[in-house]
Amino acid sequence: MKLKINNVNKIFNNDNKHHHVLKDISMDIEKGQFVSILGPSGCGKTTLLTIVAGFQSCDSGEIIVNSKMVSKPGPDRAFVFQNYALFPWMNVGDNIRYPMKQQKIPKGQREKRLNELLEMAQLTGKDKLYPHQISGGMKQRCAVVRALACSPEVLLMDEPLGAIDFQMRQNLQEELENLWLKDKTTVLMVTHDVDEAVYLSDRVIVMGTDKGKILEDMYIDIDRPRNRDSKSYLEYKMKLTDVLKKCNNK
């Protein structure tokens, strides 16, 4: 088992009121699995992801990566934010080098990995460009390969394509899938987009607003690359949309 989320509880205290956002949330994610979390706004998706990342702690429960309990950020988990969070003062190459320098990876090895990653992201020859000089899609690919630079055990992504318009988004989903197929890193991704979840995921988990309760845990059993018009693809989308509609109506 690669990633284990065990009975996680999170309570926020706002204006002297307890807000129990996550109650006894558990899930086991297998090595190499691509898992998406869907759910209505405010149900606790980002909170759960940031607890797994170690950016904040839970009130009780545990996060286990490769049989080791984790409670703070570490190189075993990488995070991709919606706004990419590239360093604007560093060019593409230096952005991707940054985590490798932090991990003190020797220069020769670092440059070899950089070239691999640039190729993987179709950014070869773009390493001297700065974030403001590249498109949203290129920024997103740069952010994903930067996260993969030190070969994390788990890649955490919070709406990584949230800022991208619809048409570009489908292309990027295909690119994201290709990147993942090359590395097969375990992925936990938050998204609002049912189509994106069905296209990319081995498994989709739907959280509800009642303390993040897991309402659905669905395996997407369709060969890749997936045909968005196929009957089974549309059936999965319909089933997930129904679950989401029910929790929005509560």
Ligand X SMILES: Nc1ncnc2c1ncn2[C@@H]1O[C@H](COP(=O)(O)OP(=O)(O)OP(=O)(O)O)[C@@H](O)[C@H]1O
Q: Which residues bind ligand X (CB under 6 A)?
A: 12, 14, 21, 39, 41-47
Closest distance between ligand X and the C-beta of residue 244, in Å?
12
Helix axes 92-102, 136-148, angle to 10 degrees: 20
Closest distance between ligand X and the C-beta of residue 93, in Å?
32
**Whether the Cβ atoms of residue 186 and residue 3 lie closer than 8 Å to each other:** yes
Q: Name the residue nearer to ligand X (CB basis): 3 or 51.
A: 51
Helix axes 166-183, 136-148, angle to 10 degrees: 20
Helix ranges, the chain (H): 45-53, 92-102, 107-120, 136-148, 166-183, 194-200, 231-249
Nearest C-alpha neighbor of 177 from the set 29, 31, 80, 34? 34
Closest distance between ligand X and the C-beta of residue 110, in Å?
34
Q: Name the residue nearer to ligand X (CB basis): 14 or 167.
A: 14
Lookup: tokens for 219: 């395996």
Closest distance between ligand X and the C-beta of residue 236, in Å?
21
Q: Name the residue nearer to ligand X (CB basis): 49 or 92.
A: 49
Q: Name the residue nearer to ligand X (CB basis): 45 or 77.
A: 45
Closest distance between ligand X and the C-beta of residue 205, in Å?
12
Q: Name the residue nearer to ligand X (CB basis): 55 or 130.
A: 55
Phi, psi of 7 (to 5 degrees): 45, 50
Burial class (CB in 10 A: 0-12, 13-18, 19+), 190: buried
Q: Name the residue nearer to ligand X (CB basis): 51 or 117.
A: 51
CA distance 223 to 26: 27
Closest distance between ligand X and the C-beta of residue 168, in Å?
21
